[in-house]
Amino acid sequence: MVFVEGALVGETVTVEMLKVDRRWSRARVVTVLDPSPDRVPVPCTHQIEGCGGCDLLHVGPDAQLRTKSSMVIDQLVRAEVDAPDPALRSLDDDHGRTTIRAAISDGRAGYRVRGSHDVVVPDVCDAVDPSAERLLVDGRFGDAREITIRVGNRTGERLVLVEGSTFDVELPDDVLMASTDDLKKGKRAWIHEEAGGRRWRVSARSFFQNRPAGVDALVDEVSEMVDELGEDGPLVDAYAGIGIFAGTIGAGRTVYAIERGRDSIADAKVNLEGDVKVIKASVERWRPSPAAVVIADPAREGLGKAGVASLVRAEPKLFVLVSCDPSSFARDAKLLTDAGMRLDRLTVVDMFPGTSHVETVGAFVA
């Protein structure tokens, strides 16, 4: 099997082989001989230059979500998991990414070239929030190595985390700046954002979804699944981060919010109120308490055997899995079905327009 980067279903292309293995190989498109009707001209000159940020700009917007859905279904078929037809969801009121990690080249911020350490320095970036774009394009970062830009689209607050020297960094006066060394010494730096119907504190190194419109969509999707398929009783928010699901869907319930990141825990304790127990632990080492509903939003590597084993010991009637990687979602779905649960509902959310990153939400019932 050959995976061809940049090719669409039904196209005839010439390719360059990148990796040849016994079971699978990888290649990329050199020339498109017979294009798909879903192919469109790439609108970003920086992507043509090699910027690795947006790898689906050659696919029309309507076809992007269908493409992502097919990726999820393909992985579930390979994992031998029976799945319903997925619902497809785009974002409402989206203004682009609000968190950006960028490399620094000659004092300017930019994106890595695909498969390289070289840097493309953009003079415009339509993929990000306008407030973040101004810092990306107009900021001057001296001898810093990397930066993380984090902005509140709905609050106007802005923060830049600098890795390396802060000497000669030039930013507008309203921007909160901190270095990674500052944080190691105990300095705290955060912004606020509004999403999912409420306000959140988000620290420089806490996990937060890449845009508030994405939080809105995930909270809406998961809430609907819990309302329609769940039962009353305690709720587990696994990999809770700053407390998004605990602080919205968990309202009125006893909630166990499991998180091991120090910065995220500090934010969760500020953000959450009511009968919420913030537990500093890895999910794998959590001592399960009975729960009617489990919501798990792990990192890209997913739950794995140990994570699934720990969470199903809570004996939930509903298990909602939120995943940013189709292959780990399919693997975890297989583990959950082997544990006696059934994938009842599936939604693919276009959390990362213009890219091949896929966000999947699955509801498993006992």
Average pLDDT over residues 308-313: 98
74 CB-side CA count, 13 A: 10
63 or 114, greater pLDDT:
63
- Is the sign of the CA dihedral 281, 282, 284, 285 positive or negative? negative
- Distance in angstroms (rounded) separating the CA atoms of residues 305 and 282: 14
pLDDT value at position 12?
87
Grade residue 26 by pLDDT with cuts at 50, 70 and 90.
confident
pLDDT in tens, 163-179: 999 999 999 999 999 99
Average pLDDT over residues 193-203: 97
37 or 311, greater pLDDT:
311
pLDDT value at position 36?
86
- The mean of the pLDDT values for the chain is 94
pLDDT in tens, 66-88: 999 999 999 999 999 999 999 99
pLDDT value at position 49?
86
Average pLDDT over residues 289-313: 97
Least confident of 22-26, 104-108, 126-130: 22-26
pLDDT value at position 30?
82
The domains of the chain, with CATH numbers, are 2-39 (no CATH), 66-92+211-365 (3.40.50.150), 99-203 (2.40.50.1070)
Residue 16 CB neighbour total at 10 angstroms: 11
Closest CA to 57 of 38, 36, 42, 46: 42
- Distance in angstroms (rounded) separating the CA atoms of residues 359 and 133: 24
Percent of the chain with pLDDT over 70: 100
